[in-house]
Chains A and B, each alone.
Chain A
Amino acid sequence: MKPQDRTHPPLASLRLPKLGPRGIVLLYLLPLAFVALGVYAYAQQRLHGDIVTDMRSVGQGGAAWGLYIMFDIFFVGLAATAIAVTTAAHLFRVRDLRPLSRIAEVLAVLSLVLAGMCVMADQGRPLVALWNLPHYARTMSPFFGSFTLIVGVGVAASLVMLYLGGRGDAAWCARSGGSARWAYRVWASGYRGNPRELRRHRRARFWLSLTLFPFIVVAYSTLGFVFGTQGGRPGWYGALRAPSMLVVAGISGVGVLLAVAALLDRHLEAKDVIPKSAFVRLGDVEIILISVFLYLLAAEALTQRYAGHAAELRVANAVVFGVYAPAFWAMIGTVLVALVMLGVQFLRRKPMPALAGWAGVLVNVAVVLRRYLVVVPAQTHGHYMDYPEGIYVPNWIEVCVVLGILSIGLLVFVSFMRWFPIIPLHAYYGRMRQEIEPEPRRRVLLRGSLTGLTFVVGLVLAAFGLAMSARFGTEPFLDPIVPFSPVIFIVGLVMTIYTAAVYVVAPPG
């Protein structure tokens, strides 16, 4: 039975059911304790300086970037894949994945916020960073891309996708009453669900997906370039860094989706709301991604070993045979176990949600190890000079801060699932077949003008902000010509993305 042929199950059954004592401890109390611990640890870091972490100076046997940057990349990768899945569901009309689109949208928003928190935890002067980044951000720095495109535009894009996808369901929730009715009504923002509105929604999401798909590749690649463009850091420098990180991000995101989908498949009151075929489809995608990752890993290792500079070889040896070997072989082992688990599902052509879910968890363990192996060994062993080698292992301060950040994400995600249907009702709507009554000319013109205006103003602002930040035609190593140009650039891009929401919402009717 295709999803669109079904009548949708009761609204309450699509939310996370009321938690029992064990659920409350696991999903609320434990995360809250970790948040408190994280706040305490971060307070220590701010009071006594970054010396309380285990990060140390490069060249003195330490790593200046550690657990925070690892999880920044991890979360951004997760968000990139989550956006990719939800856009693929609309762009390529993958109906099996539509029930998972809201999970992906919420994951995308949350992951980017958590990534921002990780970056801020890493800054030596976070408050100065909050002021100086929007003020002076330079396009020459690979950080510019991650700061503007990923954090600024990524959050905006994910929010628009979530908003558009949830409008209909919010209207449904508003009708069902409850204390949070006003919030549902705000989200629904006058949604009526008539065929014309549904068609606008479909169009808006299609165009937004089309725009976002290449954007994800560009935005996430900038994070790869943060490492790959560093010619002076053996172990990082290489053209494969960005594509390799993109593939690992895919593995991580699909893995999380598999794990969350498997959990919901088991615990939601409404049974079979997640098509079993989604597990097979995502599992197959995961197999392909893992295979590509292993291929890239082998290609990278062969290049380093066959023709690598002595310094490159030192990093490679530390990873494969040296102090980082336990992490490396644990990563390989975990990935292979996950591959075998998903292979069983693939060969039997039978959906196995629990098995796929566990494979999703395992690949994410491997991905965290991979992030560690990318970020750290190049700093402790990747020297052209005769510096001492060392090892970096995060200490309790860093672990507690990251656990606190993860717990914030978990708390928000669980609360959202309790409040709002995590499986979108629109997954049950078929394609509208009935005749759509044409709109009056005045309304069409008004909507067209507002949409066009938002889009053009957004594009102009983005171009202006970029030109002023990049100082085209002048010295690139100077401040932006107009202060806060990076903010103008972000606002422009966000406006361009919000065009989709304007097209759908204004004018009502």
Chain B
Amino acid sequence: MRIVQTTTRRSVLSILLSGLAAATTLVRRAGAGLRARVASNGGDGPVGAGGRTRRWGMAIDLDVCSGCGACVVACRSENNVPISGPGDACDGAALEWMSLIPRHQESESGSTLPVELLPTPCFHCENPPCVKVCPVNATYQNEEGLVAQIWDRCIGCRYCTVACPYSRRSFNWTEPEWPETYRNFLNPDVALRPEGVVEKCTFCAHRIRRVKEVAALEEREVVPEELEKLTACAEACPADAIIFGDLNDAASRVARMTRSPRAWRMHEELGTQPKVSYLTRDRREL
């Protein structure tokens, strides 16, 4: 019987290193192959007039906003956001896509008083923390920069709600209830969200889709004017304070407002690059 030397630590180490080297090579090759595949597709970003990739954004002029709340009501109605009573709001379980957030100021007596109401939708950040953390890709950034949400895929871990610096995401703590009379007014273009999922403002993605489809059917480009009041909140605003549009279209009203010296974005220092700009004579950030 021939006797052989059994495995030594050195031989195990050499196997280990060879395996690692092989794995690294495989990963690099897979990456290179995929890069080539993507490059050959030439990119598939949706383009607007002049061949630009669209970047949806919003501008809210606080100097003309009266804080009437029409945007909140319109958003709730358009997007089938369940009605939250005062009980839910006090309980911390209210669902809101567009909120009026009060900016408080300390009075002489020491009490804090709301001095201004800020319409606050999801900011559809260019660098969205909520998208980074989602474990199942239920929220993602689409080709036009919208931070979209796949309701059906959400597992309800609420990581996105704690990651959003602006707390613009709502969790369905209970099964939404719709009174029978209200059911007739539900928007068929927007899916109802079940209990246990996170939801948020979509910039009325269904309206964006519709306007693009209509333009395609009529074989024309989408014109900036039909975008300005596209979202439900912008459409309902009686003061013309909310303007929506393509930020990459330099001639659009939203792009011009965003370039205004009065424009600022919420907590830009966080690096999230929100696509919603506020306009004020003096910068009074929350």
- Show the binding face of A for B, using Cβ within 8 Å: 48-51, 55-62, 64-65, 122-126, 128-129, 132-133, 135-138, 140-144, 147, 203, 207, 226, 230-233, 379, 383-387, 390, 438-441, 444, 448, 452, 455-456, 459-460, 462-464, 466-468, 471-475, 477-479, 481
Contact = CB atoms under 8 A, between A and B. Distances in A.
Contacts of A48: 174
Given A125-B155, A477-B140, A444 B30 contact: no
A56 B135 contact: no
B162 A141 contact: no
Contact of B7 (A135, A448, A479): A448
Interface in B75-92: 89, 91-92
Interface in B261-286: 266-267, 270-272, 286
A64 B196 contact: no
Interface in B48-92: 89, 91-92
Interface residues of B, number: 78
B135 A231 contact: no
Contact of B163 (A233, A390, A474, A478): A233
Given A57-B94, A57-B170, A147-B135, A64 B272 contact: no
Given A141-B132, A385-B166, A438-B3, A129 B155 contact: yes
Given A137-B135, A138-B137, A141-B159, 11 more contacts: A48-B174, A49-B174, A49-B196, A125-B156, A126-B155, A383-B167, A444-B7, A473-B30, A474-B35, A474-B37, A474-B38
Interface stretch (B18-26, B180-188, B220-228, B244-252): B18-26
A438 B136 contact: no
Interface of B: 1-4, 6-7, 9, 12, 15-16, 19-20, 22-24, 26-27, 30-35, 37-38, 89, 91-94, 101-104, 120, 129, 131-138, 140-141, 153-159, 161-168, 170-175, 194-198, 266-267, 270-272, 286
A242 to B, nearest CB: 16
B155 A459 contact: no
Given A56-B91, A125-B155, A386-B286, A142 B175 contact: no
Contacts of B286: 384-386
B93 A60 contact: yes
B268 to A, nearest CB: 11
A124 B157 contact: yes
A123 B166 contact: no
B174 to A, nearest CB: 4
Given A144-B135, A232-B164, A463 B26 contact: yes
Max chain B Cβ within 10 angstroms of own Cβ: one of A48, A56, A385 = A385
